[in-house]
């Protein structure tokens, strides 16, 4: 099984994780602290901006998509507790809120 590299900007940290890992779990593995609430993609406390590798994430589930729309976030944002990596390299920007 190939590992997925997740890079966190502007911290410049990264983690190598298994496919299916959430961005929130990858952040913890990289030593990057992200605020999170319900961890179910509904409260919206953990948005991140996808800088690269958006196609290397699972598509957002309906509850996550609904939260992103409710928050008024533009395309390219995901909730770190719900967004799961599937392959490749994903680069995210944290600390925006």
Task: Give the tens place of pLDDT for each residue, 45-64.
Answer: 789 999 999 999 999 999 99
Residue of 26, 9, 17, 67 whose CA lies nearest to 43:
67
Asked whether the beta carbons of 44 and 67 are under 8 A apart, the reply is: yes
pLDDT at 40: 67
pLDDT at 42: 67
Whichever domain contains 50, its CATH number is 3.10.20.30
Range of the domain at 78: 4-93
Q: Are strands 4-9 and 89-93 parallel, antiparallel or unpaired?
A: parallel
Mean pLDDT of 40-44: 70
Residue with tokens 């395309």: 75
Q: What is the number of domains present in the chain?
A: 1
């Amino acid at each position: 099984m190939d590992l997925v590299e997740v890079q966190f900007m502007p911290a410049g940290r990264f983690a190598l994780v298994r496919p299916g890992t959430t961005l929130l779990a990858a952040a913890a593995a990289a030593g990057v602290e992200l605020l999170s609430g319900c961890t179910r993609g509904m409260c919206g406390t953990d948005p991140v901006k996808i800088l690269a590798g958006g196609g290397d994430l699972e598509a957002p589930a309906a509850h996550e998509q609904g939260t992103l729309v409710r928050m008024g976030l533009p395309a390219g944002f995901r909730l770190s507790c719900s967004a799961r990596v599937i392959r490749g390299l994903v680069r995210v920007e944290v600390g925006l809120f």
